[in-house]
């Protein structure tokens, strides 16, 4: 009996200790979970709490959106994203990436940022957003850019993409790729793993890829963060990119163009000729000549459909830009 | 006696220097390791048909160049020092003390592509440049 009561007492103390440890751990997690905004440019990073953000010079902007046939006008209070560069000594940035905790990412060029007067807002129509939330508001741009709780802002000072100087058609790579019926974790999708395409075509897959959808929306995404586990699912001639490392809102429907460094891969099932590719890239066809070899000899007609033998005769074509 | 030892040592060092191998040609190639010759890089690599080449220096730096840039590079040898020279490509493509040229081929067989993959992961990109329409990327060996 004594033995039993001693065991029970030890077990009770042990339980109390475990509960105490759990509560202490949860408390410390909750305290450290105060939302912070990290702002980075090159090697410099600063972190701001929401309170520190609110102490900066706030502005008010008005936005109008069409929703279900109604025009919704909203007033937002927040800090201009461009103003945050003051904290980093006003770097001469070219673009900015804004990312939320769930890895949702948008990228704005400096021009887009300055023209739109994008803000990180903490109040709408005079009322603080729920649960201490913040929201990126980019007037005149689609709501897909208006991300909730941006937690990381990166000002980029280097060009994220150069003009492509070599092009291959995706169907010419297919012999080297393994078509998969079930692309786990997307069991219902069949097609290719992005990793297989990337490792087949590009010498160094680390870093940013430029991906363009048929509607012209461009994504610049880091391979290790977003694309290493991504799939390229076939749906007729269309390709859809999905990744378990991306929120579904970032998945790319009708992917037509993949670029890393100088080399691009084009889905000729959707992009029918070079003019369409150059349109996607906002490149004037008159400023580029397409050649079938690297010795600058055979000039190809960029108006000819990708089904024309001139394209299938060379595995890779070269783009030479006129000065 | 000491004089003889010094003479013998000098002879051994001289012999070793004379027998030093040229830069190795590695990566997505079917054959065992080959060696680079002097001349225009495009001519040297013609039979391998690579899409990119990583020019690796002995000091841990490297330059990744595209197929279009091969014809713009000369490989030279001065005594036992091998180097690449070019006036048209970004400056870091002039590699002093060239140690290895590692080739990448699009659609390389999985077996032989491993060597380029392995090699490139030992390096990290530290910059990029473009000159006369030729892009190139600078790398440094990861410590």
Q: Is A170 exposed, middle or buried (0-12, 13-18, 19+ CB in 10 A)?
A: buried
User: Out of B52, B130, B135, whose CB is closest to A203?
Assistant: B52
The whole-number average pLDDT for the span A218-231 is: 95
CA B125 to each of CA A191, A206, A223, A292: distance values in angstroms, whole numbers, following the listed order: 31, 9, 14, 29
B37 — contact with chain A (CB < 8 Å)? no
Q: Is the dihedral of CA B82, B86, B92, B93 positive or negative?
A: negative
B137 — contact with chain A (CB < 8 Å)? yes
B92 — contact with chain A (CB < 8 Å)? no
- The pLDDT score that the predictor gives to residue B1 is 63
- The pLDDT score that the predictor gives to residue A1 is 44
Average pLDDT, chain B: 86
Kindly determine whether residue B107 and residue A175, on different chains, have CB atoms separated by under 8 Å: yes
Nearest-CA distance B76 → chain A (Å): 22
Name the helix (H) or strand (E) containing A10. Answer: helix A2-32
**Contact call for residues A201 and A190 (beta carbons, < 8 A):** no
- The pLDDT score that the predictor gives to residue A29 is 45
Residues of chain A with Cβ-Cβ distance to B46 below 8 Å are none
The whole-number average pLDDT for the span A182-186 is: 93
Residues of chain A with Cβ-Cβ distance to B133 below 8 Å are 165, 320-321
B118 — contact with chain A (CB < 8 Å)? no
Residue B47 CB neighbour total at 10 angstroms? 9
- The pLDDT score that the predictor gives to residue A311 is 85
User: Out of A203, A206, A262, whose CB is closest to B104?
Assistant: A203
What are A37-79's pLDDT values in tens digits? 999 998 889 999 888 888 899 999 999 888 788 888 999 999 9
Residue partners of A15: CB distance under 8 A and separation at least 6 = none
CA B65 to each of CA A149, B40, B107: distance values in angstroms, whole numbers, following the listed order: 41, 14, 18
- The pLDDT score that the predictor gives to residue B12 is 54
Kindly determine whether residue A162 and residue B130, on different chains, have CB atoms separated by under 8 Å: yes
Residue partners of A22: CB distance under 8 A and separation at least 6 = none
Mutate to test the interface with A, among B104, B106, B124 (most CBs of A within 10 A): B106
pLDDT at A183 over 60: yes
The band of A257, judged by pLDDT with boundaries at 50, 70 and 90, is: very high
Q: Does the predicted interface ipTM exceed a cut of 0.90? A: no
The whole-number average pLDDT for the span A167-196 is: 93
**A323: helix, strand or coil:** coil
- The pLDDT score that the predictor gives to residue A4 is 46
By C-alpha distance, the chain B residue nearest A265 is: B106
Q: Is B41 exposed, middle or buried (0-12, 13-18, 19+ CB in 10 A)?
A: buried
**Contact call for residues B56 and B102 (beta carbons, < 8 A):** yes
Q: What are residue B21's phi and psi, to 5 degrees?
A: -80, 150
The whole-number average pLDDT for the span A193-205 is: 96
**d(C-alpha A172, C-alpha A187), whole Å:** 26
The band of A296, judged by pLDDT with boundaries at 50, 70 and 90, is: low
Residues of chain A with Cβ-Cβ distance to B71 below 8 Å are 294-295
Average pLDDT, chain A: 86
**Residue B55 has which token pair?**
């020019």
By C-alpha distance, the chain A residue nearest B64 is: A203
Q: What's the DSSP call for residue A42?
A: T
**d(C-alpha A219, C-alpha A258), whole Å:** 10
Tell which residue, A36, A13, A35, A16, has the closest CA to residue A24. A16
The whole-number average pLDDT for the span A5-12 is: 55
By C-alpha distance, the chain B residue nearest A321 is: B133
SS (H, E, C) chain A: CHHHHHHHHHHHHHHHHHHHHHHHHHHHHHHHCCCEEEEEECCEEEEEEHHHHHCCCCEEEEEEEEECCEEEEEEEEEEEHHHHHHHHCCCCCCEEEEEECCCCEEEEEHHHHHHHCCEEEEEECCEECHHHCCEEECCCCCHHHCCECEEEEEEECCCCCCCCCEEEEHHHHHHHCCCECCECCECCCCEEEHHHHHHHHCCCCCCEEEEEECCCCEEEEEHHHHHCCCEEEEECCEEEEECCCCCHHHCECCEEEEEECCEEEECCCCCCEHHHHHHHCCCCHHHEEEECCCCCCCEECCCCECCCHHHHCCCCEEEEECC
Kindly determine whether residue A295 and residue B71, on different chains, have CB atoms separated by under 8 Å: yes
- The pLDDT score that the predictor gives to residue A21 is 54
- The pLDDT score that the predictor gives to residue B68 is 93
Tell which residue, A146, A131, A3, A4, has the closest CA to residue A61. A146
Residues of chain B with Cβ-Cβ distance to A173 below 8 Å are 106-107
What are A84-132's pLDDT values in tens digits? 998 988 888 999 999 998 889 998 989 988 888 899 999 999 999 987 8
**d(C-alpha A178, C-alpha A192), whole Å:** 7
Residues of chain A with Cβ-Cβ distance to B113 below 8 Å are 199
Interface of A with B (CB under 8 A): 158, 162, 165-166, 168, 173, 175-176, 199-201, 203-204, 206-207, 261-263, 294-295, 315-316, 318, 320-321
pTM for this predicted structure: 0.79
B70 — contact with chain A (CB < 8 Å)? yes
Count residue pairs from A and B with Cβ separation < 8 A. 54
- The pLDDT score that the predictor gives to residue A310 is 85
B49 — contact with chain A (CB < 8 Å)? no
Q: Which of the residues in chain B have pLDDT under 50?
A: 15, 18
Kindly determine whether residue A321 and residue B128, on different chains, have CB atoms separated by under 8 Å: no
Residue A9 CB neighbour total at 10 angstroms? 10
Give the length of chain A: 323
User: Out of B67, B116, B130, whose CB is closest to A294?
Assistant: B67
- The pLDDT score that the predictor gives to residue A14 is 63
Residue partners of A282: CB distance under 8 A and separation at least 6 = none
Residues of chain A with Cβ-Cβ distance to B70 below 8 Å are 294
């Amino acid at each position: 009996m004594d033995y039993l009561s001693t065991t029970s007492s030890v077990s009770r103390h042990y339980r109390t200790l475990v509960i105490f440890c759990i509560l202490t751990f949860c408390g410390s997690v909750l305290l450290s979970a105060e939302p912070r905004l990290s702002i980075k440019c090159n090697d410099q990073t600063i972190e701001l709490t929401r309170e520190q953000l609110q102490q900066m010079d706030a502005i008010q902007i008005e936005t109008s959106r069409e929703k279900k046939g109604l025009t919704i006008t909203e007033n937002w209070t927040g800090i201009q994203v461009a103003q945050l560069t003051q904290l980093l000594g006003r770097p001469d940035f070219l673009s900015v990436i804004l990312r939320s905790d769930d890895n949702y990412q948008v990228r704005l060029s400096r021009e887009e940022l300055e023209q739109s007067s994008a803000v990180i807002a903490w109040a709408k129509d005079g009322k603080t957003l729920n649960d201490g939330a913040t929201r990126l508001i980019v007037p005149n741009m689609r709501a897909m850019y208006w991300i909730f709780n941006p937690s990381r802002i990166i000002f980029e000072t280097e060009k994220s993409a150069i003009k492509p100087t070599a092009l291959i058609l995706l169907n010419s790579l297919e012999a080297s790729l393994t078509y998969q019926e079930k692309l786990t974790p997307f069991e219902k999708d069949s097609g290719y793993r992005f990793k297989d395409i990337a490792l087949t075509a590009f010498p160094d897959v680390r870093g940013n890829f430029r991906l363009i959808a048929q509607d012209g929306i461009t994504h610049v995404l880091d391979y290790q963060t977003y694309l290493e586990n991504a799939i390229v699912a076939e749906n007729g001639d269309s390709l859809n990119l999905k990744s378990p490392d991306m929120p579904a809102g970032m998945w790319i429907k009708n992917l037509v163009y993949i670029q890393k460094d100088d080399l691009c891969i084009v889905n000729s099932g959707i992009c029918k000729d070079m003019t369409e590719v150059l349109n996607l890239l906002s490149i004037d066809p008159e400023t580029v000549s397409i050649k079938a070899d690297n010795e600058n000899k055979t000039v190809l007609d960029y108006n000819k459909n990708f089904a024309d033998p001139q394209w299938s005769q060379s595995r890779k074509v070269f783009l030479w830009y006129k000065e | 006696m000491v004089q003889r030892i010094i003479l013998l040592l000098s002879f051994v060092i001289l012999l070793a220097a004379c027998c030093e191998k040229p830069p190795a040609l590695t990566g997505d190639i079917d054959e065992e390791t080959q060696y680079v010759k002097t001349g225009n890089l495009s001519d040297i690599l013609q039979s391998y048909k690579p899409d990119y080449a990583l020019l690796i220096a002995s000091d841990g730096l490297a330059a990744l160049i595209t197929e279009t840039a091969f014809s713009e590079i000369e490989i030279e040898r001065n005594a036992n020092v091998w180097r690449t020279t070019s006036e048209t490509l970004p400056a870091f493509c002039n590699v002093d003390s060239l140690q290895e040229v590692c080739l990448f081929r699009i659609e390389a067989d999985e077996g032989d592509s491993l060597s380029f993959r392995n090699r490139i992961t030992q390096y990290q990109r530290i910059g990029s440049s473009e000159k006369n329409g030729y892009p190139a990327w600078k790398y440094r060996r990861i410590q």
